[in-house]
Amino acid sequence: QVQLVESGGGLVQAGGSLRLSCAASGRTSSVYGMAWFRQAPGKEREFVAGIRWSGGSTVYVDSVKGRFTISRDNAKNTVNLQMNSLKPEDTAVYYCAARKIPSGLTSISAYDDWGQGTQVTVSS
């Protein structure tokens, strides 16, 4: 099992920036990839960005392309999400997740381990 702890959420005005971090511990050698998901009130949880642990290839949902950047630090077992030009519609609880299989990058069901979530609120 992999334990994940997110940090860095908060309140920011539209157009501002936040940086989320996710610290992984436990059986990190089993991790194939990691991702950030988010869930807004009354909405389903959705994929935001993902990164392959080895090689670092990335994928983003269209709505955040050009504004968000996912990165990883293998030595520190952390994954970060730099969020720029934030919009009110980015308001959500953001979750870090880890998966052990190559497939299902954007699928919730592919991820075995989840963090507790961190709130991001963007005011207009």
30 three-class SS:
helix
How confident is the model over 26-61, as pLDDT tens digits? Answer: 998 999 999 999 999 999 999 999 999 888 899 999
Ranges 17-26, 70-79, 114-123: which has the least confidence: 70-79
Residue 104 binned pLDDT confidence (cut-offs 50, 70, 90): confident
Contact 24, 3 (CB under 8 A): yes
Say if residue 12's pLDDT is above 90: yes
Q: What is the mean pLDDT of the chain?
A: 95
- For residue 84 the two structure tokens come to 């720029």
For residue 56, the model assigns a pLDDT of 84
17 three-class SS:
coil
Please list, in sequence order, all residues whose beta carbon lies within 8 angstroms of the beta carbon of residue 7, skipping any fewer than 6 positions away.
20, 21, 22, 23, 118
